[in-house]
Amino acid sequence: MHDSNRVIEPNAGPAESTRARLLEAAGEEFSSLGYEGATIRSIALRAGANLAAVNYHFGDKESLYEQVVIHAHRMLVPHEPHEEAVGMPPREGLRVWIRSMLGQVLGMQAQRGWQHELILREMMRPTRASAALVREVIGPRFGCLRLMILAIRPDLDDRSLNAFCFSVVGQCLFYRTAGALASHLVGEAAFHALDLDFLAAHICDLILAGLGNRLALPVLSLSQMDQPTGLGGA
């Protein structure tokens, strides 16, 4: 096969199986280029494997993608950052959870980059491959958020509970889905001023304000009132 600028095994340890290298390479390609954008040629190249190896090991581009998603999930589940939030008091846990998700969204976590990237892509446009991912990675993460909000406001009905959860997730995802647009709208400088710390606090405060803790949980409402976003008053 012709390939003028071919690189042989850029990151392949010989001990690592071809299948594993393909999985890793595919993860990087899919996460950075999307499903359609990625080509199995490029994936095989990056993995230092033959073009046909992809079809040999996975049969299909789509099947490869499925396996990549599952692989990502396996690597991620044991280290889910939201796990830290479960033992905390709900308000604090919420803060941790939001900060963790926002961190992923803003690309603050260099290591395991493509796994998170892949998950975010699956959030925005789920494929047939993502059922497992939703069930085993996103679902638990979402369930954790749901529990914390329910702990803060046990009286919420399902519909409102979901709406609050989606409000949290929506605000976080926005900076990925529409980050480029947002940067255009307010200028790059103003957009960069919205760093992780600030945004996490803003979103958390907003949600807590919305959950309304003046009456139900006055002790926490005081601490909330000190936030710079001006949630306090009255």
Nearer Cβ to DNA (64/94): 64
CA distance to 77, 173, 174, per residue, from 106 (Å): 20, 9, 10
How far, rounded to the nearest angstrom, does the alpha carbon of residue 185 sit from its chain's CA centroid? Answer: 24
Distance CA 234, CA 53 (A): 67
Partner touching 62 among DNA, its own copies, none, CB below 5 to 8 Å by kind: DNA
Q: How far apart are CA 11 and CA 234, in angstroms?
A: 60
SS3 56: helix
**Dist CA 23 CA 71 (whole Å):** 8
Task: Compose the 9-38 pattern: x for residues touching DNA by CB under 7 A, - for all others.
Answer: ------xxxxx------------------x
Q: Using the rule CB under 8 A, which residue among 20, 106, 123, 196 binds its own copies?
A: 123
Q: Nearest 5°: phi and psi at 56?
A: -65, -45
Q: Closest approach of Cβ 40 to DNA, in Å?
A: 4
Window 41 to 60, contacts with DNA (CB under 7 A): 41-42, 49-57, 59-60
Nearer to DNA, 64 or 145 (CB): 64
Least distance between its own copies and beta carbon 4 (Å): 5
The H-or-E segment that residue 209 falls in is helix 196-211
70 vs 134 by CB, closer to DNA: 70
Based on CB atoms, which residue is closest to DNA, 15 or 219? 15
Locus of tokens 């009905």: 157
**Listed ranges 24-32, 80-88, 95-103, 181-189: which one lies at the site for its own copies (CB under 8 A):** 181-189
> From the CB of residue 197, how many other CB atoms can be counted at a distance below 10 Å?
10
By beta-carbon proximity to its own copies, the closer residue of 87 and 228 is: 228
Residues that bind DNA (CB under 7 A): 1-2, 15-19, 38-42, 49-57, 59-62
